[in-house]
Structure 1
Amino acid sequence: MAAIEDAPGKGLIAGISDHMVTLPEFYQLDSVPSEKMSPLLERQYLYGKESTFVKWTAKKGAVVPLHHHANEQVTWIVSGKATVYSQGKAYTMSAGDIMIFPPNVPHEFAFSEDTVDIDFFAPGRQDWMDGTASYYAK
């Protein structure tokens, strides 16, 4: 397990570090609670000041319905396989593939294998923070 310890003189920039009043936030992803979005889909997510990080765990047959959002989205399939539908095209994504969605581009996911999908959103997902996202198949 990773640890935080003092490292005098390391990670400092003169003129910048002197004025910082905050430190990086450190997490163990396995300790972040998992939220069940449907019987086949779970997510774990963290918020930064200007972004959202999410780990999706999808079982074969899981779906994220057609939707769009004001956030840029970077999707990385870590394991498994998914088909992404967007703008009349089907993209088959396998482990190691990355897709970048510009803001407001409609898209949906269909998982054809058990899959781990890491997503990064900028700016952060305000609709998740305030509970107004309504496109998940529950």
Structure 2
Amino acid sequence: MDLPKKGQRWVLHNDALPQPAGPGVVRRVLAYTDELMCVENTFETGAVGPLHSHPHTQITYVAEGVFSFTIGSETRTVRRGDALLKTDGVEHGCTCLEAGVLLDVFSPMRQDFI
């Protein structure tokens, strides 16, 4: 297993390198170019994605589970099928209420994940 290469056309889940991204969180960098990146984050119940911001626009899709998410000054509970938009520079974070998977899409790509 290894990180995919920039522009790699096919990225199979079983070949994507799982990386620790905090207690109870595993990140898999999937396909990406300079302009766009797709990342899967698997959370255990109780795991926290601490409040942070970055200069990337991010869309998060809840593939599985239940999360308490804060974006800016608003906190809401989100579930499978929900999507969240976090524009660049806006503080955001989450707590996993029920084990799950978040699919993040970043523009531009997150160089710090490579």
TM over 0.5: yes
Question: Which residue, 1, 4, 11 being the options, matches 1:27?
Answer: 11
1:80 equivalent to 2:45? Answer no
- Look up the match of 2:93: 108
Shift of 1:38: 2.7
Distance in 2 separating the partners of 1:44 and 1:24 = 14
**Cross-structure match for 1:123:** 108
Between structure 1 and structure 2, the one with the greater Rg is: 1
Tell me the TM-score normalized by structure 1: 0.72
For the residues of structure 2 that align with 1:125 and 1:24, how far apart are their CA atoms? 16
Q: Distance in 2 between matches of 1:43 and 1:115?
A: 12
The aligned residue for residue 40 of structure 1 is 24
TM-score, reference length from structure 2: 0.86
- How has the CA–CA distance of structure 1 residues 58 and 73 changed in structure 2, closer, same or farther, with 3 Å as cutoff? same
Supply the distance in 1 between the matched residues of 2:61 and 2:109 (Cα, whole angstroms).
17
**Where do 4+ consecutive residues of structure 1 move more than 3 Å?**
none
Between 1:111-120 and 1:34-43, the stretch displaced more is 34-43
Question: Paired residue for 2:37?
Answer: 52
How far, CA to CA, are the matches of 1:25 and 1:115 in structure 2? 26
- 2:74 equivalent to 1:93: no
Q: CA deviation at 1:41?
A: 0.6
- How far is 1:24 from its partner? 6.4
| Equivalent residue number for residue 5 of structure 1 | none
Per-residue CA deviation, residues 18-38 of structure 1 (Å, 9 max, x unaligned), is xxxxx8611112210100123
State the secondary structure of the residue aligned to 1:113.
Answer: strand
**Per-residue deviation at 1:89?**
1.4
Which residue of 1 is the match for residue 53 of structure 2? 68
Count how many residue pairs are aligned between Structure 1 and Structure 2.
107
The structure in which a higher percent of residues are strand is 2
Percent identity over the alignment is 28
Matched-pair contact (CA < 8 Å) for 2:63–2:80: yes
1:41 aligned partner, one-letter code:
V
- In structure 2, the residue corresponding to 1:127 is in which secondary structure? helix
